[in-house]
Amino acid sequence: MTDYETQSLQIATDTYHVYLCADVIAAGALVAAIVGGFFAFLTLRKIAQQLESAKWNALLSFEQDMNARRQRFSDVAQKLTSSSEPTEHQTSYEEAKESYLNAVERLASSILKGQFPEAEMKTSYRDYIASTIREYEDRFRAGTHYPRILELHEKWRD
């Protein structure tokens, strides 16, 4: 074998080793990408579960807020009916009613925007929305400040 052939063979062997190392590194990178993708998938799944949980926590918060405002409204209404001077509690009564209806409006808006599953919300809140509109008909006329409550009521009518 000539000196030229020996050098060519050495260069070919060195090139083979370099390509082999590059292939091993590429295989390692592929394995790392697959493992990273798997962990990313698990993380995204956990995040989706947390968002689902947060959604129901938000609903619980809405319910607590509505109940607190309704209770305050009820307390003021009780004072209004039992008081000898109803005019002194009239302003508080109107403010409490407005506050309560605003909480119901926020819930209706959230349901209409799809933040909660509508089928479950319809089962739970259909009668509640209808009774709210029946109780306070004077607040749900043309130009109402609570259009989402009306829209949700119309949507859920049979």
C-beta separation of 37 from 54 below 8 A = no
Quote the CA–CA distance of 139 and 145 in Å, as a whole number.
8
pTM of the full predicted structure?
0.68
Q: Give the per-residue pLDDT at 38.
A: 96
Element (H, E) at 139: none
What is the identity of the amino acid at 106? R
Tens digit of each residue's pLDDT (9 = 90 or more) over 72-106 = 888 888 887 777 776 777 888 888 888 889 999 99
Q: Which stretches of the chain drop beneath a pLDDT of 70?
A: 86, 158
Quote the CA–CA distance of 98 and 109 in Å, as a whole number.
16
Q: Give the per-residue pLDDT at 56.
A: 84
